[in-house]
Amino acid sequence: MSSLSRSDLIPEQDLCPGAELIAEGRALARDWPLGSCAFLSAHGVASEAEHKRRQAAAREVMLHAQIGYRDKAKTLAAAADVHEATARRGRAVARYGICLDWSMGFPQAIRQGQPRGTGLILEGPEDFAALSQVAPVAPHFGDFVLGFPAALENTQAALAAGATAIGNLGQYFTFRLPGWDDEVASTEATLRALGLIAAQPAEILVHSNLDDGFAALFTDLSCVLGAVLIEQHIVDRLIGARVSHCFGHHFSEPLTRAAFQCALAKVEDTPGTMVYGNTTSYRGGPAENYASLGSYLLIDALGQGRWPSGHALNPVPVSENERIPDIDEVVAAQLYAIRLLEQAEGHATLIDWPAVEQLADRLIAGGQLFKQRVLDGLAEAGVEISDPMELLLTLRRLGPRKLEALFGPGRPDADAPRGRWPTVEAPVVEELVAMADTCVEHWSALEIAAVSAAGLRVCVATSDVHEHGKLLLEEVLRRLGAAPLDGGVSADPDALVAAAVAQEADVLAISTYNGVALSFLQGVKAELAARGLDIPILIGGRLNQIPDASNSSLPVDVGDELAAAGAIVCRDMEALLPALLQHVIKEERLRP
Ligand code: B12
């Protein structure tokens, strides 16, 4: 691709070759061997992968539960209780995904004082070990380990605690820690950690949640399958470890969900970690969300029956869209899943399996083309594609939009969203467009015309990786005749204000999810005040935060505090038009 050049993508002159970093990691294996844990001892296996292979051969479907509260004691209690309740029901939960806090991505030496999200903070190897001993359930340290500056020290602690599934490579490509821009240091730490993993005699799964990475942002699902193949190239071929994929958050449509599972089983012989729940379909109260849980779980169960790939299924508790689920809610979702697995079998004959296989083959063909184009294109640009350091950095820096536009397998067309028509459209994109249409239908033409006539410039940003609120805002603003300006994803307050000023924004619209709503707003207000500005701020998403004084509680709603600090609190997208209208009237931008 003539428009790409290595020197633009990697301006650093003194990049350490990946092979050296991997060798450094490998050398640490003598001091950091795999420890024992209750799961490995109870099942008499060397690794979770070995157990997965056994279960898959016996066609036994496994279950996964996600746990991790800020409070360590509560997390330990959850681990014990969920195991106990599911074992009593005859199908003990197989694995726990431990929700570490995003501050865990920072090395312990500099973690103090970093912004915290809503997850678990572990002080050192003993804390990791306590978790892996509390119940005979495979510990999966999936978030904020690989991909971050603390990758090596967190991997050491996870291995010492007997964890044989460590992630999350998907996060490497898209996540950003607040205030941290040293991508080289994050990549170096990740490669050392991968070297240490590769050197373990036991089979350690390098977990990658595709939905944490590019799957949430590609418009063509074939590119997501292509990402699987590219990660195999990096982890399996270049590094000598074993990558294991997870997908599911954004797969709301049954045919594509089943086809993706089939495609993964065809291209991967390493057991999968888990199929994640389709969390984006949780939009209502518990009763409505149970319908979503039942519909995706049935597809996943039938898929495992047909292509036993070792993926555990993840029944996400139905309160997930409101807050972090409590222990009894995690148990309830597991019991629901156990019953559903008992009832799923009879449905298999109702599925049009050839149609599923056909779509899977299209995904694989598109994915292979994407992978080949990416590797050829980068090689042509001068990137050393046999060096995982160069390859990882380049992929992260190009990001999903450019990668898809440059190398996607779809037919090129200037009218298509990324300059190409998707070979298999990603359901999440369709859903956002439909949501924007529905939203605008509820407003009066008169009000829309008033906002449209004012020609507002709205700077839209997110405080963290959650980008769909921003994409939806942009879709809706365009329908209102306002200009959406890019304020960034995972933006820091100073960068957001700088972007707003540079683009002469009339209004700031913030979408925030990670439980930092109040501190983020305060940061933005302080930046504006320092520049003598008072731009109206709209804020929506998950408007909560764990109070500073608390080291144990769940996040609490901070809507009142946000309003008191001067923000316009938007509980849903319907609040957008009245808020913009209010601004238009106040500024007398209303035209006859
Ligand atoms: C999709 C999703 C993800 C995806 C994001 C993909 C992407 N690139 O965008 C992935 C898988 C990557 C992800 C990651 C994480 N997630 Co998440 N995620 C979600 C999920 C399922 C949906 C959120 C979403 O995008 N919805 C789509 C939008 C369009 O709809 P909506 O949220 O209902 O928003 C409505 C309004 O609020 C409004 N709106 C939104 N913003 C704004 C702004 C303005 C100005 C206005 C007017 C309106 C508005 O628009 C919508 C329509 O009305 C929620 C749970 C849920 N079901 O809601 C969890 C959730 C938000 N995630 C959560 C967490 C904890 C995380 C992680 C930290 C988990 C982890 N340990 O790794 C990481 C984030 C790490 C990081 N570095 O930031 C928590 C937040 C907890 C809290 N604050 O209480 C939630 C609530 C799940 C939970 N219960 O634990 N997540």
Residue-wise pLDDT for 211-239, tens only, equals: 999 888 899 999 999 999 999 999 999 99
Report yes or no on 380 lying in a domain: no
Report yes or no on 408 lying in a domain: no
Residue 323 and residue 180 in one domain = yes
- Residue 323's pLDDT is 83
Residue 335 and residue 435 in one domain = no
Distance between start and end Cα atoms, the chain: 51
- Residue 550's pLDDT is 61
Residue 447 and residue 322 in one domain = no
Q: Which of 275, 303, 270, 264 is nearest to 48 (CA)?
A: 270
State if residue 117 touches ligand 1 by the CB under 6 angstroms criterion.
Answer: yes
Alpha carbon distances (Å) from 483 to 97, 450, 494, 528, 575:
41, 14, 22, 21, 18
Report yes or no on 422 lying in a domain: no
Residue 438 and residue 577 in one domain = yes
Where a domain ends, among 321, 356, 391? 356
Residue 351 and residue 444 in one domain = no
- Residue 387's pLDDT is 98
- Residue 214's pLDDT is 85
Report yes or no on 362 lying in a domain: no
- Residue 592's pLDDT is 45
State if residue 111 touches ligand 1 by the CB under 6 angstroms criterion.
Answer: no
Nearest protein CA to atom 71 of ligand 1, as residue = 99
Task: Collect all residues with Cβ–Cβ distance below 8 Å to 148 and sequence separation of at least 6.
Answer: 104, 105, 106, 154, 171, 172, 175, 177, 186, 189, 190
Residue 347 and residue 493 in one domain = no
State if residue 393 touches ligand 1 by the CB under 6 angstroms criterion.
Answer: no
128 alpha carbon to ligand 1 midpoint, in Å? 27
Domain at 471, CATH number:
3.40.50.280
Residue 137 and residue 244 in one domain = yes
> Closest ligand 1 atom to the C-alpha of 282?
57
Phi, psi dihedrals of residue 426, rounded to the nearest 5°: -75, 125
Report yes or no on 419 lying in a domain: no
Task: Please name the helix (run of DSSP H) or strand (run of DSSP E) that holds residue 512, with its range, or none.
Answer: strand 507-512
Residue 330 and residue 448 in one domain = no
Domain at 35, CATH number:
3.20.20.240
Residue 466 and residue 342 in one domain = no
| Half-sphere CA count of 413, side-chain side, radius 13 A | 9
Domain that holds residue 468: 429-586
Nearest protein CA to atom 1 of ligand 1, as residue = 280
Residue 98 and residue 239 in one domain = yes
State if residue 168 touches ligand 1 by the CB under 6 angstroms criterion.
Answer: no
Sites in the chain below the pLDDT cut of 50: 1, 592
Q: Which of 145, 279, 435, 462 to mutate to test the pocket of ligand 1 (most atoms within 8 A of CB)?
A: 279
Q: Which of 207, 238, 277, 248 is nearest to 48 (CA)?
A: 207
Residue 462 and residue 340 in one domain = no
> Closest ligand 1 atom to the C-alpha of 211?
11
How many separate domains does the chain show?
2
Report yes or no on 400 lying in a domain: no
Residue 45 and residue 190 in one domain = yes
Where a domain ends, among 356, 373, 406? 356
**Could you read off the pLDDT of 118-143 as tens digits, one per residue?**
899 999 899 999 999 999 999 999 99
Where a domain ends, among 325, 356, 387? 356
> Closest ligand 1 atom to the C-alpha of 575?
47
Report yes or no on 401 lying in a domain: no
Report yes or no on 36 lying in a domain: yes
pTM value? 0.93
- Residue 303's pLDDT is 97
Assess whether the previous peptide bond of 168 is cis (omega < 30° from 0). Answer: yes
